């Protein structure tokens, strides 16, 4: 049985896809950027993709959905920016909270950068929590590392889950799976696809978790792997972080060659399936990939919320195995949403 949801600020679809895999049927997927909407429609023609600013989105039609999820823009809280918070005109939390008030979902899921968990934004977080509490929810938040859930990069993310009290008592946060997935094993087949003879040697060097992919903003940041410090970390993994390659290295490259990631490699590091297609040029595609909430992590958080709804003990050791990833992600969900009742 699927639960109903509305997704705000969907980007390239990482969180939307993960929540679909967790059993949520999207009644609306809202995204402002046209190219990103093209990506969403190309991969999931059955989704109701609405190209608009969430400040113009009216939520009454979706009153009573089970989940309102939002990956609101991160620049107001990113350490790579000016960290203006509420003073940044890109702060979409007020609009998201207004929609929570309109829609009155059973649960709320907000995802953002780790910076929102810092001491600098304590007052902002507390105001957010107080507003959700006033709307009848029990909010709680954690910083989750993507590398703890089968994703071969660090990617710490601020996750806020707000549930009605009757559901909140059944909610349990996902915990680490223990064993981590490394860059080398994750990209071995993609790095070898053009006949590079030294792929196995490279994979041994890359037997570590990657630093966080950085996607950049619409105005700043091209298709490279982030600031100087991140590029040094990628170099230690045997990767040239100065740009994104069009293809994997060929047979003419020697053992000392530092390959660049392709867009497909970067997408796999984010746990997107190889079948997920991104619209636009290289920079636009990389923005969608690099700024995404990894589907694998969204799936496990969504599964925790669903377990609370179903009054089931959440199996926090749920594995996101590659075979299951490919099987579940390659075809659209055929599940139907359950009949929903308006919240009271």
Q: Which residues are catalytic?
A: 74
Three-state secondary structure call for residue 192: helix
What 3-state DSSP class applies to 103? helix
Q: How far is CA 189 from the centre of its chain?
A: 24
User: From CA 70, how far away is CA 54, in angstroms rounded?
Assistant: 10
Burial of residue 129, with CB atoms counted within 10 A of its CB: 0-12 exposed, 13-18 middle, 19 or more buried: middle
| Whether the Cβ atoms of residue 259 and residue 202 lie closer than 8 Å to each other | yes
List, in order, residues 6 or more apart from 139 with CB less than 8 Å away: 108, 128, 129, 132, 133, 160, 161, 162
Q: Which residue has the tokens 């810092």?
A: 118
d(CA 203, CA 230): 19
Strands 138-145 and 156-163, how do they pair? antiparallel
- Whole-number Cα distances in Å, 250 to 203, 235, 246, 247, 257: 16, 19, 12, 9, 11
Q: Beta strands 156-163 and 107-113: pairing type? A: antiparallel
Give the residue among 317, 306, 271 at the shortest CA–CA distance from 176.
317
């Amino acid at each position: 049985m699927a639960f109903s949801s509305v997704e705000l600020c969907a980007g390239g679809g990482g969180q939307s896809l993960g929540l679909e895999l967790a059993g949520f049927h999207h009644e609306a997927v809202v995204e402002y950027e046209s190219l990103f909407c093209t990506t969403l429609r190309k991969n999931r023609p059955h989704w109701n993709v609405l190209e608009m600013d969430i400040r113009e989105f009216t939520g009454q039609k979706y009153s009573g959905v089970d989940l309102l999820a939002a990956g609101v823009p991160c620049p107001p809280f990113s350490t790579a920016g000016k960290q203006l918070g509420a003073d940044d005109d890109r702060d979409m939390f007020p609009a998201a909270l207004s929609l929570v008030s309109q829609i009155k979902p059973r649960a709320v899921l907000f995802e953002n950068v780790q910076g929102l968990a810092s001491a600098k934004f304590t007052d902002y977080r507390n105001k957010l929590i107080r507003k959700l509490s006033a709307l009848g929810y029990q909010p709680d938040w954690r910083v989750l590392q993507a590398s703890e859930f089968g994703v071969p990069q660090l990617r710490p993310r601020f996750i806020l889950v707000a549930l009605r009290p009757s559901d909140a008592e059944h909610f349990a946060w996902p915990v680490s799976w223990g064993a981590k997935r490394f860059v080398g094993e994750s990209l071995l087949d993609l790095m070898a696809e053009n006949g590079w003879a030294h792929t196995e040697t490279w994979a041994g060097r890359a037997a570590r978790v990657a630093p966080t992919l950085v996607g950049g903003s619409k105005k700043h940041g091209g298709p490279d792997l982030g600031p100087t410090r991140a590029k040094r970390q990628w170099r230690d993994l045997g990767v040239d972080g100065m740009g994104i390659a069009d293809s994997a290295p060929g047979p003419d490259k020697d053992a000392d060659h530092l390959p660049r990631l392709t867009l497909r490699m970067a997408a796999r590091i984010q746990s997107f399936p190889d079948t997920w297609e991104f619209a636009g040029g290289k920079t636009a595609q990389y923005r969608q990939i690099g700024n995404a909430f990894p589907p694998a992590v969204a799936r496990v958080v969504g599964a925790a919320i669903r377990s609370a709804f179903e009054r089931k003990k959440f199996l926090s050791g749920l594995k996101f195995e590659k075979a299951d990833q490919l099987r579940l992600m390659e075809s659209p969900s055929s599940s139907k949403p359950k009949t929903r009742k308006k919240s009271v």
